[in-house]
Amino acid sequence: MYKMGSQAYKQVNLETSVSQASPHQLIVLLFDGALNAIRLAELYIQKGNIAGKGKAISKAINIIDNGLKSCLDLDQGGEIAENLDQLYQYISQQLVFANLHNDTQILQTCFDLLNNIAQAWREIA
């Protein structure tokens, strides 16, 4: 019962954060979501929870492909947008490999790459 209440509170808190966020803050929330999902996938691999690992990695890929990549303006973003697009594509591919091989080292590499971009994005604010 407490777990359900906790989940409901987290959902309301997230929805409030999203509805009140600036476009810049929304990108930060996307990074945070993807990074958290990757960390969660690592924990699931360590615990042998294959279904949880797959769900967490799918969530990270979804955030990267349908969130971060879709925010890129390839027409006006120039070389930076193109490089980010390629990097996001690479990270998504690596996440698939990590999922197939239960490879925490690949997950760590993906986390580090994404976290570097996230840190730079946070500093812009």
Which tens digit of pLDDT belongs to each residue from 55-68?
999 999 999 999 99
Q: What's the pLDDT score for residue 20? A: 60
Contact present, 70 and 58 (Cβ < 8 Å): no
* Structural domain 22-124, CATH architecture: Up-down Bundle (1.20)
Q: Phi and psi dihedrals of 74, rounded to 5?
A: -70, -25
For tokens 């976290």, what's the residue? 115
Which tens digit of pLDDT belongs to each residue from 34-55?
999 999 999 999 999 999 999 9
pTM, two decimals, is 0.84
